[in-house]
Amino acid sequence: MWIGQLGCEAFNWILKKAIKQERPTSTLFPVPYTALIDLPSPALHGVGGGYGFPSSHAQFMGFFASFMLLHLYFRHRFVSCGIPLLDFIWSAFVRLAVVALALIVCYSR
């Protein structure tokens, strides 16, 4: 997992340097108190510095969801409660929750 995470971060850094898409300016965030001090423009808008695309949060969640689904499929064994239907529902819920979490983070970015 750690090697995959480091590879994901390196790949994201390469993509950001290759694509060079600026972060969007936002008027949705109120100007923070620190705006009274002379700060760079991205800090005033609350969207951070550096390039914005691809989102490292979204890319990490894609990697994490893929890793977890593969781990759950190949390595993890859910403890049985004795009712096969309930076991299936629980394992399906966990897998769908992992995918839903990743999709929510990707959509928010």
To the nearest whole number, what is the mean pLDDT of the chain? 74
Residue type, 54: P
- Could you write out the DSSP letters of every residue in 38-64? ---HHHHHTS-SSEEES-HHHHHHHHH
Residues 28-70: pLDDT tens digits?
555 544 444 554 554 444 455 666 677 777 788 888 888 888 8
The residue ranges of every structural domain in the chain are 1-52, 55-109
Give the side-chain half-sphere CA count within 13 A for 57. 9
pTM > 0.75? no
Is residue 71 over pLDDT 70? yes
